[in-house]
Structures are given as C-alpha cells and as structure tokens.
Chains A and B, each alone.
Chain A
Amino acid sequence: MELVKKYVTEIVLILGIVVVFGTTAMFNDAYTERFFDNVTSLILRPASILGIFALGAAVVIIAGGIDLSSGSMIALSASIVCITTLVFCKLLQPDADDPTASVPIWVVGAAIAVTLFVALLIGSLHAWLITVVQLPPFVATLASLVGLRSLAIVMNKAVSKQLGAEAVIVNIQDSNYLLTSAPWWLPLAIFLTLAMLLWVILNFTVMGRHIYAMGGNEAAAKLSGIRTDRLKWFAYCFAALTASIAGILLASSGLSADPQSQGTGGELFAIAAAVIGGCSLSGGVGRVSGVVLGALFLRVVIDAVAKLITSGNSANYEGMIVGLLVVLAVAMNEVTSSTVGWRKQFFPGALGMVALLTIGLIVGAILAFSLTLSEQATNSWRIGLVAGIITSVVLALIKVLAYQLGKTKPAIQVKP
C-alpha cells in the first residue's frame, strides 16, 4: 500500500498509456495492420527523443531551476553536427561535387564530439549566468531560447556561404550518415541508458542526494556545506547535453539540419513531460521513472489524437494536447496534496463564472474546428455549441456542489 502511494504517478501513467493506446488501436485500423511499424516509428522513436531531453529538463527542475533553452539547443546541435561534418568533408575532398556522399566514420565521431563539447560550454554558460551573475534561471535560459536558434541560422548561412552556396538548411548526402540506417531501437537504447544513468546518479550518489536537497531548500543546503554552485553547473550541463543528443538524433533521422523548424517548442514538451511525470516546479520532487513514463504518455496521446483526426496536419493539435495535459497534471497534484482535497472550490466568485464559461467555449471551439477539418464535416458547429454548453453546465453543477460542501464549515465571527 505504501508503494502504491509512493508510485501513484507512475501507476496512473501506465494505466493512462494502456487505455489511450488500447482505445486508439480499437478505432484505428492502421494500428492493427502495421502494428510494429506504428509502435516503433510513431511512438517509441519520438518518445525516446523527447524522453532524452526531458530527463535533462527534469534534473534542472528537481534541482529547483528551469531550463527553457532545450528546443533551441536541439536546433543548434543538429546544425553543428551537420555543419562540422560538411566542413570536414570539404577539407578532405575540396574538389568533389558532393563531398558528403560518403562520410568517413571518424568524421562522424569528431562531429558528435564537437557538438557535445559545445553543449557543455552552453550548459556552463547557463550555470555561470545563474550562480555568478545571479540571473534568475528563467531569464538566463530564456536568453538562450531566443538566442541559440538564431545563432544556428546565422552559422549555417555563414559557413555554407564560405563553402559555396548560402543556405539555412544543411543536407548530408550519405544515407548511412550518423547511423541513420541503424535499427529503430537505437534512440530507445540511448534513452534507457541515460535514464538508468540518471537514476543511479539521483538515487545512489552523494551528488544526487544533494540535488534533491538543494531543490527542496537551497538556503538550508548551503548551510549544510553543500556546494550548490557546482550542483547547478552539473544540472544545466546535463540538460544541455541531453538536448544536444536529441538534436544529433533528429539530424540523423532527417539527414539534415534545419534550425528554423527542428526542436521548436521542445523546451515546453520537455518541461511538460517532467511535470506530467510528477516533478514539482518548486523543486526537490521527481523521479526518473515518472519522467520516462511521462514522455511516453505524452507521445502516446499526441499520436492517438493524430490518428483519430484523420485529415489535416495533426501536428497542429500537439500544442492543445500538451497544454491540456500539463494543466490537468498540475491540478491533480494540487488537489491530491492540498488539505482541502476534492472539496476545493475551483470556480469561486466572478472569476470562477468567467473561467467556467471560458472552458466551455474552448471545448466547444476545439470540437467544432476539428470536426469541420475532418471528413465527417456535418453539423460540426452545432455539435460544438452543444458540447460547449454541456461542459459549462456540468462545471456550474460542480461549482454549486463544492459551494454546498464548503458551507458546512462554520463562518468566521463578525463584529457584534
């Protein structure tokens, strides 16, 4: 029973994954027809790449900080790995038309090493900005979020101009580059290895314990003789490194670096996976198992919605899903940890009325829009309207119920 209580997040997530996956499989024929392909290429591979940098985000969050830079770090890393390869190949065969047609393995290794090294430098820069310049983590990494992506674009243009034609997107011709033809399980294996490594660090090393302590109470950690600056250095470097690995994997799957699109919004997906996996944004709380399942759950849900929405670009829906899941996960956490529990009044006063109508409006709108875009586009607006009204009414009932429950508590004394 104690175990159940401790691992409630993981249990809920496993159940969630099974239910969502099962439902999708039932309604979508593609799942059953090409089951293996679906599971590997649409769920496990993207979930692994997301999970890799979600681990980095989770370490920073557990340490009491936040890293907003991972999306841009992914773009920069993908660009660096491709551009270094290009430069090396050009140097080796200055006269070839297609220098990247066949990339030697040591060039690949060198390019990866350069990329990871740059990631460590960026992570160290974050740590310096936070511990020495004393910027809030939010600001320090926000600067990287906007800065690194544009740095990658400029770098690609400049280097490609030097080598011939100016271009933002760097393509590699060798189809074996970066183990692109490697089995589907390579990202998964990297992900699980990193997860194991992090699990050992967080649970069985002095540094791991100190990270939890710092996240829980930084002032007390300092007074206990813990060098919090070094822990932050590690945390931000680990985050940058994992984002960089994800970037290399993305470059390998597309055989190109496109800093304008690769990894956009990655930072928020990573934070979402960590939060859904039970990490507390106030620090000190979170487990590797939760983050792994959180990333998987997020991917399964995104994929399920993509399958159920049969037309249009399913990627357009990802933002809504992530937003919804994060709000639900944090609200669940709030309810289970608060003393009031389910008796909490979610819709008090005027603000509550507005919130209740807004939620109804959003539900109705999402339904109407997605039905219109789908093939069964009949009555979509009417269905949306009805669903929106029903949602508002149900929430209003909850409001009344919570109010009635709350009224049983005696009111505070007033002036006689």
Chain B
Amino acid sequence: MNDTHATPHSPDHVIQMMTMAPSASADIFAIETRSISKRFGGVVALDNVSIQVRRGELLAICGENGAGKSTLVKILCGQHLEYEGEVLLQGQPLRFTGIKDAERAGIGIIHQELNLVENLSVAANVFLGREQSRYGFLDQASMNRQTTSLLRQLQCEISPSARVGTLRVGDQQLIEIAKAVGMGAEILIMDEPTSALTESEVTRLYRVIADLRRRGVTILYISHKMDEIFHLSDRVTVLRDGRYIDTVATAEVTPRKITQMMVGRDFGYQVPRDRIRSNDPAMPALLSVKNLWRAWPGHARKWRLQNISFDVYPGEIVGVAGLMGAGRTELFECLFGCCTEEFGGEVNLDGRPLRLGHSRDAIRQGISMVSEDRKRLGLFSNLNIRENVTIGSLQKLTKVGLVSLRQERTACQTMIERLRIKLAGQRFSVQSLSGGNQQKCLIGRSLLNHPKLLLLDDPTRGVDVGAKAEVYQLLNELAQRGISILMSSSELPELLINCDRILVLCEGRLTGHFTSEEATEQAIMEAATAINIEKP
C-alpha cells in the first residue's frame, strides 16, 4: 500500500483509486491535517486544527465567517505555504511548494470566485498551463476531443470551442471541475460552490458530485448552507474561531445541532448599556426603508437585495447580521447612494424621501458611512492623518476660499480627543497608525459631517481586541447623543452586545428581525442559514 502511494500521481495509482470502493478506507486518510496553526500577524486564523478526510467520502466543513474555513482551504491547496503543523496526503506527510505542486499531488480546487480566463475557449481553459502541442504547435483537435470526453463524463454538453465568457456561471463551474478532473485530481475542494447557481444548476451540480463520488473522488465541501450539507455530506466538521469543534456523521445530527456548534463564540466584552433607549413606537422613525431592492445583472438570482423593509429610530443602534454574500454591504451601499447597480424602493429620512444619486447627497441629508474595506475605500495613503480626517468636511473649514490650517487642526484635534485616537502627531502618515486608530480616523471623518444616521459596515474588521472595546464604548456614546447607527458585523456577539435590534439577511432577503431581548446567537444563525425558510 505504502509503496504505491509514494508516487501519488502515477497513472496506475489513479486507476487503483478509481476502482477502490469508498468503503475501502482503512486508517489511512485521503487527506489529513495534524495540529495546523496559522497566524496573520497577531491574529490567529487557525489554532491547532486536525481534520481527517476519508477516502471517497464527502466531508462538509462549516463555520461562521472568520471560522477559518478559507485559511484551511488555502493551506490544503498550496496557497499558504507558511504554517505550523502537518498535512498528510494518503498518509504521507508533505509540504507543498505552491499551487502547482498541490495540483500535481492530486488536489483540485473549485474556488468560490471562478478562476477561468474568460476570453479563451473551454478547451483552452481546461488545458491551461499544461497545453498539448505537436511539432511546436498547439494540438487543438486533441485538446478539444479530450475536453469533450471529460465534459461527457460529467454528463454535460458544452462545446469545447465556446468562449468561457459567454457561458453561464453554472457551466463555468463545471469547466473548473472538468479541469480539475482532467488533471487527475483525486481530492476536490469545493468552496461554497452553489453561491452563484440557479436551482436547476444546483441540481445538476449535485448529480455531478454524486457521479464523481462513484468514481472514488474525495470531496471537501465548504458551505454554511444546511440543506446542501444534509443533502450531500457523509460527515460534517465544524470550525469556530479558527478552532476545531467536532466532526459528526451527518445522518446522526440535525441542522439545529450544527448551528449550535457554529455559534457560541468566546467574547469577553461587556458594554455598559447606560443609555436610555429611545425607540419609542410613538416617535417617528428616523430612517424608514420599504421594499428596497437592488438588481444583480448577469447573475442567476437577478437581484442582490429584495423586499427589504425596516425602520431605524433616533438614538438606536440597529445591527445587520448575515453570512458572507448575504447582502449587508450591498444594503449599506444603497442607503449611502454609492450603488452602481439599479435599485429602488421607498427610503425616507425624517419623513422626507431620501435622494440618493451620489454619496455627497447622502452626506448632505445627514447620512455618513464608514465602509467595510478600510484600505481600498477609506484611507488616502498619500495624505497625512489630519488631511484624512478632514477630507470630507473641508468646505466648512475655509476662510476667504482657502483652507484654514488652524480650523482644520482644531477640527482634527476635537475628533482625536473625542475618539481617543492614539497618534504621534497630526502630520504623520495615516499608515503609521494601528488598524483600530485608522478606523477611528474614518469614524472621525464621518462625524465631522454631523450625521443623523451613521452606517458602519463591519467597523471592527481587522481591529485589535483593545480597540474593539473602545469602538463599542464610542458607539454607545454616539447613540446617547441621539445619533442613530446601522451597523453590520461578521461577528454575532458583537451585534448582540451593541445593538437594540438586529436584522438578519440571507441571500438578499430579510429573514429575521430580533429585539435585543429576543436575540440569541442560535436564533440569528438559524435565520442567517435560512433554516425553516421556504426557497422562492
């Protein structure tokens, strides 16, 4: 056994693997990790994770956002090369030198964001990086023939000469699968493969997966959708906070049990809730959203958001929960007028319809936003700290048409003191600050516009523990002053301790609405994974 496995990518071995029934798994696992840990700077993404994937089985890996699923996948497919612990393939410990190396060892990956060259043909994509040639010229005919036979094995009819860009996402995904199978992958890692598929494409994918399994391919299936996990998997491994929680046989558990394992994260914060809640039903709502929708051109689902209705009252903190791709950022973009796609619905601020053409309109009407991606959408790395804080409100800091340095300094200083930003001086580069202080600068920039409603999209992303507590304290103070806050977070406990009410999004729809008394992690997670909710 061991001798044959010493060369895992020999053709003999592939045949042997294919003829082997799934039940033949002994103690040697197709893929195994032993005490894997991975750190990004001070953040621990994976902590001592050991998983075992039996040969020929379909193991689902699930967990909340930030549980460590993606990091694990990236280690297994040779994208992250530096980590602690061991990866074993067919019982052999090894360390990949790169993605190519993992491919050669028989690991294929189907990314959530497909990795295809859109302007090339199907066959060219399937053979990308290992093109076949004859007398120094590409052997199109042979590659087309092999692609056709690969696709036929997957029972789908796609012309090998079609341009990939013209195909639908579901077909493109099958091409990725064909590419991996064509490379002789014995282990397929699928990272949330159904996130962009229509109902019928999902059914076809299920059929393809069943077919692959019949041929002995081991599948690692990353997902947080309960119906898929229960339809497909043999066993489920749950990760939380980068730690391994448990692995259970799917037949022996219920979806509720799995969500229970996903939630319950450690969270050592207590926020003093000393403000007086003012969401008195008699009071008029500050923001009122009715039937908001946002189109998604070119996607099977057609819309990013559908039928979203909610109110935000003055001085209230409302949380928006949802897993990756649920539409949190998309919702914020609509409300801030920086949405590039068509959207509509009735949005009122202070009883007046909100005009949303440009972010500038939103700011003038009293809405400010701190975006999710600090580096890409927030900071100006070429400007200093002072300039970064005042950039949104310079118009008010002028004297005879020129920017008044004195007024600017004062405005910046007010924010530094109010938000307790730690810095060496206003003149220093904004990149010299820690993540938490950069975030505070951006909040300060928003506050200088004196907003009535502050939109905070995942405000503690990439912020260290101490600064998180300060941000929470700050949110509390702002709400006390009567500013309404609509915040999203990838971390449920953060919403639970800060928010008066929590809205839950799942696939662009509002699937839950809880007051802080009703909200539990379990209830929110069930709404976010759409258990008990009918598919349209």
Contact = CB atoms under 8 A, between A and B. Distances in A.
Contact of B391 (A209, A219, A413): A209
A204 B363 contact: no
A126 B336 CA distance: 29
Nearest to A285: B382
Interface string B91-106: 0011111000100000
A223 B383 contact: no
Which one of A213, A215, A220, A222 has the greatest number of beta carbons of chain B within 10 Å?
A220
A225 B360 contact: yes
Interface string B345-387: 0000000000000111011100001010000111111110001
A217 B374 CA distance: 11
A382 to B, nearest CB: 42
Given A223-B359, A224-B359, A225-B359, A213 B380 contact: yes
B169 interface: no
A284 B387 CA distance: 13
Contact of B403 (A205, A224, A225, A416): A205
Contact of A209 (B358, B401, B403): B403
A213 B383 contact: yes
B391 A226 contact: yes
Interface residues of B, number: 36
A284 B429 CA distance: 14
Nearest to B396: A206
Contacts of A414: 95, 97
Interface in A118-138: none
A212 B382 contact: yes
A414 B379 CA distance: 38
B402 interface: yes
Interface in B438-453: 445, 449
A227 B382 contact: no
Given A213-B383, A213-B391, A215-B382, A222 B359 contact: yes
A348 interface: no
A60 to B, nearest CB: 16
Interface in A270-328: 284-285
Interface string B375-412: 01111111100010001101100100111000000000
B101 A415 contact: yes
B380 A217 contact: yes
Give the bracket for the number of chain A residues in contact with chain B: 20 to 34
B392 A225 contact: yes
B394 A223 contact: no
A206 B396 CA distance: 10
A153 B387 CA distance: 47
A149 interface: no
A226 B388 CA distance: 13
Contacts of B362: 225
B523 interface: no
B338 interface: yes
A85 B251 CA distance: 91
A216 B371 contact: no
Most buried by B among A216, A222, A284: A216
Given A223-B377, A227-B358, 16 more contacts: A204-B403, A205-B401, A209-B394, A217-B380, A219-B377, A220-B379, A220-B380, A222-B358, A223-B336, A224-B391, A225-B360, A226-B391, A412-B97, A414-B95, A416-B94, A416-B95
Enumerate the 6 nearest inter-chain pairs by beta-carbon distance, A residue then B residue, closest first.
Answer: A216-B382, A284-B382, A225-B360, A225-B363, A224-B392, A216-B380
18 contacts: A204-B403, A209-B403, A210-B394, A213-B387, A220-B377, A220-B379, A222-B359, A223-B336, A223-B359, A223-B377, A223-B378, A225-B360, A225-B362, A225-B392, A225-B449, A227-B360, A415-B94, A416-B95
